Chains A and B, each alone.
Chain A
């Protein structure tokens, strides 16, 4: 191996770590070039949603299951943190962890019976779960503030410093998002992750290979719910105000859109899909009127042309082109 080959091999071998490192560097220096709070606010929102979609993608893309109710878990995280910190005066970080654990437990209770069911049953169960949570948020106004929302949530703090502007929040949300991204990237290459990928392809074959199908599904469902809850808690502390309308089934559909556009089972795809869906309204002025149609069209076109998602689809197409070119060159 020549020196050049060695370097290329090193890059190839460590491609995931290097990409994560590069992303970290870019985001670390981003506020030096972009100090407009408005734009930092947008990238913070991407970070929050990313934590949720990473978990959701593990569940949909790797375990091959449908959840149309993840906004329900986000809502539990957001309102859980809101109530514990604003009403009961808990430390926000402690509240975030406790709420995430409780939501994980709730997901376990919902998941054990429902994950025996396949396809549409799970879609219905998760939709039903989301509608139940949403209705409770609206109706139980003594605790949740009802339709007008819950205000006065304290911001996060780190070593006594309140995280109360976009710049500070940037340096809290993105390290967390990158940690979760790295964990997810490692998980999908681990035995559990490969088992899940097998399960998404064919449950019977996976179970014949010794993968405990229902246990693996429940594990990843609980994990995705915990991540959704963490995202929800951060959302609550970021905006210091939450409102039931942020957590309706339409939000669940939007989360699913982010995952599907990026690519089922592609962790990087989730980053792309999330960023695209959050950024689109900022750059398309006519967007407000046609928001639904554009979201739907993107979803339909991506699924029709690249059923495996935009990122994976384009990558596969590029690989095919390269192989074809090599083939032609050899003959």
Chain B
């Protein structure tokens, strides 16, 4: 029985990280769908969300729900700002240059966060009290339940947004054909701004959810974000269900390899498996066979 309980424990820990990877991966996808680029500032939205939560709780003194929503909203605003100030003035539509541009912007964001919040690691409190509950033999922190629940809600809201709102439908239009979308009068600039806001919000949500578990620092988002990127690729960039699947798979693989193989090399296993999948099935689990 003990080994089954351990197994469930690893499942929960894998799903927790996997949900966070999935949220970040969705952020990568939304921007990729509307602009065709990988937006590396996504990794910093994660740290930024955590930082905003920390500041609004301790410096401003807001109650948890307000601080939580404020942090997500702030990260969404940051996303919009990045698009408006950083990406739009560029004169080029060369994807290579635009991707390097987001790398530059990401370096700047990290630099700003380092100056504003310093290099020290900080502790962020969880959403609700720290009393663990027992589910299927595993000991689960309330924060983990929050992560799973809020990820589910975020995915549902995103699905509703892209299917049922006019903005969401416009964004899908731009994703499938930007020129045609501009031709029928869709405001492509506004759509790009909104896609960055969504990406920022998703990154911020991932940040406020995971930093109570990982502790917070200005570069906490880098490794998390790159794993989110890996999840996006595993799931086949562009397909939302695929990306969520990719995130959860990566989280579970990582958790099991840390548990049964070696925790020191868990990043090696995670990225090793990613490379393997890329070699065998480059379009990812549910990607369209474009290659």
Which one of B7-15, B103-111, B198-206 contacts A? B103-111
Tell me, in angstroms, the Cα distance from A121 to B95 when the chains sit together. 13
A15-42 interface with B by 8 A CB criterion: none
Chain B residues positioned under 8 Å from A148 (CB to CB): none
- Check: A245 CB closer than 8 A to any chain B CB: no
- Check: A120 CB closer than 8 A to any chain B CB: yes
CB pair B103 A253 closer than 8 Å? yes
Residues of A bordering B, CB below 8 Å: 60, 64, 66, 68, 110, 113-114, 116-121, 123-125, 127-129, 131-132, 135-136, 139, 249, 253, 256-257, 260, 264, 289-300, 303-305, 307
Chain B residues positioned under 8 Å from A68 (CB to CB): 103
User: A136 — nearest CB in chain B belongs to which residue?
Assistant: B268
- Check: B183 CB closer than 8 A to any chain A CB: no
Chain A residues positioned under 8 Å from B168 (CB to CB): none
Tell me, in angstroms, the Cα distance from A114 to B274 when the chains sit together. 11
Chain B residues positioned under 8 Å from A298 (CB to CB): 104
Of the four ranges (under 10, 10 to 19, 20 to 34, 35 or more), the interface on chain B belongs to 35 or more
CB pair B233 A300 closer than 8 Å? no
User: B104 — nearest CB in chain A belongs to which residue?
Assistant: A299
CB pair A253 B107 closer than 8 Å? yes
- Check: B131 CB closer than 8 A to any chain A CB: no
Tell me, in angstroms, the Cα distance from A123 to B274 when the chains sit together. 13
Q: Which among B86, B100, B223, B233 is the interface contact of A256 at CB below 8 angstroms? A: B100
Q: Which among B38, B104, B112 is the interface contact of A300 at CB below 8 angstroms? A: B104
Chain A residues positioned under 8 Å from B96 (CB to CB): 60, 64, 66, 119, 264
Our count of residue pairs bridging A and B at CB distance below 8 angstroms stands at 134
A116-B282, A253-B103 given; A293·B108 CB < 8 A = yes
Q: Which among A110, A117, A120, A256 is the interface contact of B103 at CB below 8 angstroms? A: A256
Tell me, in angstroms, the Cα distance from A257 to B90 when the chains sit together. 17
Task: Report which residue of B104, B110, B267, B291 has the largest number of chain A beta carbons within 10 angstroms of its beta carbon.
Answer: B104
Q: Which among B99, B107, B115 is the interface contact of A295 at CB below 8 angstroms? A: B107
Q: Which among B89, B91, B278 is the interface contact of A121 at CB below 8 angstroms? A: B278
CB pair A124 B99 closer than 8 Å? no
Chain A residues positioned under 8 Å from B282 (CB to CB): 116-117, 121
CB pair A303 B104 closer than 8 Å? yes
Tell me, in angstroms, the Cα distance from A121 to B237 when the chains sit together. 10
Contact with A along B210-242 (1 / 0, CB 8 A): 000000000000110010011001000100000
Tell me, in angstroms, the Cα distance from A121 to B108 when the chains sit together. 24
Tell me, in angstroms, the Cα distance from A125 to B229 when the chains sit together. 11
User: B271 — nearest CB in chain A belongs to which residue?
Assistant: A128
A66-B96, A118-B291, A123-B38 given; A131·B271 CB < 8 A = yes
CB pair A120 B233 closer than 8 Å? yes
Interface of A is mostly: helix
Q: Which among A127, A129, A139 is the interface contact of B265 at CB below 8 angstroms? A: A139
A123-B38, A260-B100, A292-B110 given; A114·B278 CB < 8 A = yes
CB pair A120 B100 closer than 8 Å? no
Tell me, in angstroms, the Cα distance from A129 to B276 when the chains sit together. 11
Chain A residues positioned under 8 Å from B237 (CB to CB): 120
Tell me, in angstroms, the Cα distance from A289 to B119 when the chains sit together. 11
User: A113 — nearest CB in chain B belongs to which residue?
Assistant: B279
- Check: B3 CB closer than 8 A to any chain A CB: no
Chain A residues positioned under 8 Å from B112 (CB to CB): 293
Tell me, in angstroms, the Cα distance from A256 to B107 when the chains sit together. 12
CB pair B115 A119 closer than 8 Å? no
Q: Which among B91, B264, B265 is the interface contact of A304 at CB below 8 angstroms? A: B91
Tell me, in angstroms, the Cα distance from A297 to B109 when the chains sit together. 10
Tell me, in angstroms, the Cα distance from A128 to B223 when the chains sit together. 11
CB pair A303 B115 closer than 8 Å? no
Closest 10 CB pairs of A and B: A292-B111, A299-B104, A296-B107, A296-B108, A293-B111, A128-B271, A113-B279, A300-B104, A307-B92, A120-B38
Contact with A along B107-141 (1 / 0, CB 8 A): 11111101100000000000000000000000000
CB pair A290 B101 closer than 8 Å? no
- Check: B97 CB closer than 8 A to any chain A CB: yes
CB pair A139 B264 closer than 8 Å? yes
Chain A residues positioned under 8 Å from B103 (CB to CB): 68, 253, 256, 299
Q: Which among B101, B265, B275 is the interface contact of A303 at CB below 8 angstroms? A: B101
Tell me, in angstroms, the Cα distance from A118 to B272 when the chains sit together. 19
Tell me, in angstroms, the Cα distance from A185 to B193 when the chains sit together. 42
